[in-house]
């Protein structure tokens, strides 16, 4: 096994198989899930990178009891396999970054030096909870230390660990008893709370609280494939409303913006996270490219291989009231790149009913990309009530969706194409793209 934590760590459980065999296992699982629907998937797309592909890691603080003296020393790492309460000391993570080990060690030593209290997730007491690190091919690093509000962070010594002007540092407060590193309360210790990621040569901003696909190089393969499929179903109509794209669960706008720029059709993105919507509006307004790479090797030693700083624009939409449709065009200090892309801060289940009844989406294309838990029941009901002619489902949990949602969707839709994408090498997980066509519509009828 390549990783020293194999067996202890709950992640990367498939790394004891050659990559080719991992792909075969995913493809054959996907085939058997699709079997009852009489669909044969096309070949799975391999990940561009098999190691060090993730752009985000969430580590937990814990305590290791050193028997027999019962002394405790701080741990920083992942939860042990099957033990949600127990953290093991991480030395490396072969799917995040080759330079992670020294950084984790430096943080652990800092905890010891400062004598900080570790959060106990069974008693719900203590201070230090998580360390979230995000990096981007845009050459940035964003580190968030998450604590409860029960203590005070020794900021100067924490900042000294990441002694590089390119590292954005944040302190997030999370008092809830749930096991989540997501926080709404932030103090920015240094830098801007954004990263910039390169997708198909285009730059996308992503804030500390925004969702971004964790394997951007594999996501590019899906985006390219999806754009090709969309161009085949979206055709300009001679009369009536222009066929449009509804991008439900749009995140920072990667899919909608790519399609609006490639196909020149109006797009409306819906998303419930305010931070993602702010990023989506910013992304539609501004563009740029930077084919660069980053790793953390040598970072803690002050010798960083990080790439040159890229131009960063202001967040022109910060402070917009929620619930509005936010246009990308004409605001701030840059001209609109595509005046026909808009975003709405809303829950998909609250707006799907109205939007799906509009002819431009009914005859255009609706894209679904929900979280792992799947579609809200109201979204599914509204799809049944007003089914758009073309439905693309980007799915990070195909097993659940095929067992619970597709039996209903397939009453109305035919799965024209199903393809798995390996976003998560060394693990059993994969992403899928389903191209669905309403059964009563003729293929090639726009």
Ligand X SMILES: C[S@@+](CC[C@H](N)C(=O)[O-])C[C@H]1O[C@@H](n2cnc3c(N)ncnc32)[C@H](O)[C@@H]1O
Residue 425 region by backbone torsions, left for phi larger than 0, else alpha for psi between -120 and 50, else beta: beta
CA distance 395 to 397: 6
The answer to whether 251 contacts ligand X (rule: CB under 6 A) is yes
To which H or E segment does residue 205 belong? strand 202-207
276 binds ligand X (CB under 6 A): yes
* Residue closer to ligand X (CB basis): 167 or 366: 366
* Size, binding site for ligand X by CB under 6 A: 20
Q: Is 87 in the site for ligand X (CB under 6 A)?
A: no
Q: Which one of 143-151, 184-192, 271-279, 326-334 is the stretch in contact with ligand X (CB under 6 A)?
A: 271-279
Asked if the bond preceding 38 is cis, omega within 30° of 0, the reply is no
Token look-up 């901003």 returns 205
Q: Could you say which of 348, 365, 383, 391 contacts ligand X (CB under 6 A)? A: 348
Q: Specify the stretch interacting with ligand X by CB under 6 A; choose among 48-56, 258-266, 365-373, 383-391.
A: 365-373
Binding part of the chain for ligand X, among 40-48, 99-107, 114-122, 246-254 by CB under 6 A, reads 246-254
Per CB under 6 A, 213 contacts ligand X: yes
What's the closest the beta carbon of residue 423 comes to ligand X, in angstroms?
10
Q: How far is the CB of 352 from ligand X (least distance, A)?
A: 9
Q: What is the residue-wise DSSP string for 257-315?
A: HHHHHHH---EEEEES-HHHHHHHHHHHH-----------TTTTTT---PPPPPP----
Site for ligand X contains 134 (CB under 6 A): no
The b/e string for 334-345 (b: 16+ C-beta within 10 A; e otherwise) is beebbebbbbbb
Which of 22-30, 47-55, 248-256, 328-336 is the region at the interface with ligand X (rule: CB under 6 A)? 248-256
User: Is residue 203 at the binding interface for ligand X, with CB under 6 A as the rule?
Assistant: no
* Least separation in angstroms between CB 384 and ligand X: 18
The CB density around residue 321, as the number of other CB atoms within 10 Å, is 8
Token output for 7 = 């067996």
Site for ligand X contains 271 (CB under 6 A): yes
Minimum distance, C-beta of residue 373 to ligand X, in the bound complex (Å): 8
Q: Whole-number minimum distance, CB 347 to ligand X, in Å?
A: 4
Q: Does residue 278 interact with ligand X by CB under 6 A?
A: no
Give the x/- contact pattern for ligand X in 367-406, rule: CB under 6 A: --xxx----x-------------------x----------
Query: Given the rule CB under 6 A, which of 4-12, 279-287, 363-371, 420-428 is the region that contacts ligand X?
Result: 363-371
Burial class (CB in 10 A: 0-12, 13-18, 19+), 187: exposed
The DSSP secondary structure of 298-360, one letter per residue, reads TTTTT---PPPPPP----TTTTPPTTSEEE-SS-TTS--S-TTEEEEES-HHHHHHHHHTSHH
* Nearest residue to 246 (alpha-carbon basis) of 355, 389, 142: 355
Which listed range, 96-104, 108-116, 176-184, 247-255, lies at the site for ligand X (CB under 6 A)?
Answer: 247-255
- Residue 208 gets which letter from DSSP? T
Contact between 197 and ligand X per CB under 6 A: no
User: What residues contact residue 200 under an 8 Å CB cut-off, 6+ apart?
Assistant: 220, 223, 224, 258
Q: Which residues bind to ligand X, rule: CB under 6 A?
A: 211, 213, 249-251, 254-255, 270-273, 276, 347-349, 369-371, 376, 396
């Amino acid at each position: 096994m390549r990783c020293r934590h194999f067996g202890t760590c709950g992640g990367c459980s498939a790394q004891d198989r050659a990559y080719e065999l991992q792909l075969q296992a995913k493809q054959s699982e996907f085939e058997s899930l699709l079997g009852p629907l009489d669909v044969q998937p096309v070949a799975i797309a391999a990940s561009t990178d098999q190691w060090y592909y993730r752009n985000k890691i969430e580590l937990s603080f814990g305590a290791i009891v050193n028997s027999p003296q019962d002394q405790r020393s701080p741990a920083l790492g992942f939860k042990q396999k099957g033990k949600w309460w127990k953290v093991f000391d991480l030395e490396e993570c072969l799917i995040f970054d080759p330079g992670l080990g020294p950084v984790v060690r430096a943080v652990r030593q800092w905890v010891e030096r400062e004598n900080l209290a570790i959060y106990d997730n069974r008693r719900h007491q203590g201070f230090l909870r998580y360390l979230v690190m995000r990096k981007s091919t845009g050459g940035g690093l964003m580190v968030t230390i998450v604590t409860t509000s029960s203590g005070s962070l020794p900021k100067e010594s924490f900042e000294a660990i990441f002694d590089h002007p390119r590292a954005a540092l944040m302190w997030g407060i999370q008092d809830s008893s749930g096991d989540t590193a997501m926080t709404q309360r932030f103090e920015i210790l240094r830098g801007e709370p954004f990263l910039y990621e390169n997708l198909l040569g285009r730059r996308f901003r992503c804030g500390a609280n925004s969702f971004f696909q964790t394997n951007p190089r594999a996501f590019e393969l899906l985006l390219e494939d999806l754009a090709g499929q969309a161009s085949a179903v979206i055709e300009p109509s001679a009369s009536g409303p222009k066929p449009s794209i509804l991008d439900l669960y749009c995140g920072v706008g990667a899919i909608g913006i790519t399609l609006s720029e490639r196909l020149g059709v109006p797009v409306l993105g819906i998303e419930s996270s305010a931070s993602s919507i702010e990023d989506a509006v910013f992304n539609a307004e501004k563009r740029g490219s930077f084919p660069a790479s980053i790793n953390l090797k040598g970072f803690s030693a002050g010798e960083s291989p990080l790439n040159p700083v890229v131009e960063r624009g202001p967040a022109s939409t910060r402070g917009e009231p929620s619930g509005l449709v936010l246009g990308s065009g004409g605001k701030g200090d840059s001209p609109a790149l595509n005046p026909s892309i808009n975003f709405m801060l809303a829950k998909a289940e609250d707006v799907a009913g109205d939007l799906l009844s509009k002819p431009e989406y009914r005859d255009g294309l609706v894209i679904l990309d929900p979280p792992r838990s799947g579609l809200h029941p109201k979204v599914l009901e509204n799809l049944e009530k007003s089914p758009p002619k073309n439905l693309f489902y980007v799915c990070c949990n195909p097993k659940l969706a095929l067992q619970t949602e597709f039996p209903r969707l397939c009453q109305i839709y035919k799965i024209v194409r199903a393809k798995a994408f390996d976003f998560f090498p060394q693990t059993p997980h994969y992403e899928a793209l389903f191209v669905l066509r309403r059964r009563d519509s003729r293929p090639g009828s726009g």
